């Protein structure tokens, strides 16, 4: 008997070895797919959170109108200019 036991591995693939190989491949497939899904989800959320410059300008314009800094006519004209 050698250092590896009675030589059960020398005749071909052992069922336990095939199972472990399958499990390792499945683990890496799930890990890679999960990383891709996470990356795409984060990228999509970052796009949705960034306000466009016209949206930010319109919000600022609305705030000025609410505070009474500009009249309704000025608000409407500036709103047309922004959009």
pLDDT digits (tens, 9 = 90+) for 4-61: 555 555 555 677 888 899 999 999 999 999 999 999 998 888 776 655 666 888 899 9
**Which residues in 5-25 are b (16+ Cβ under 10 Å) and which e?**
eeeeeeeeeeeeeeeeeeeee
The whole-number average pLDDT for the span 51-78 is: 86
* Inter-axis angle of helices 53-67 and 72-82, nearest 10: 180
Report pLDDT for 28: 97
Report pLDDT for 36: 96
Report pLDDT for 7: 53
- CB 36 within 8 Å of CB 30: no
Beta strands in the chain (DSSP E): none
Please give the Cα distance from 61 to 72 (Å, whole number).
Answer: 11
Give me the residue label for tokens 């399958």.
Answer: 22
Whole-model pTM: value is 0.43
């Amino acid at each position: 008997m050698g250092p590896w036991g009675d030589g059960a591995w020398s005749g071909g693939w052992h069922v336990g070895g095939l199972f472990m190989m399958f499990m390792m491949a499945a683990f890496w497939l799930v890990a890679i797919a999960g990383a891709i899904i996470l990356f795409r989800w984060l990228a999509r959320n970052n796009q949705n959170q960034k306000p466009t410059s016209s949206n930010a300008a319109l919000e600022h314009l609305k705030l000025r109108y609410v505070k009474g800094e500009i009249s309704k006519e000025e608000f409407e004209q500036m709103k047309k200019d922004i959009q």
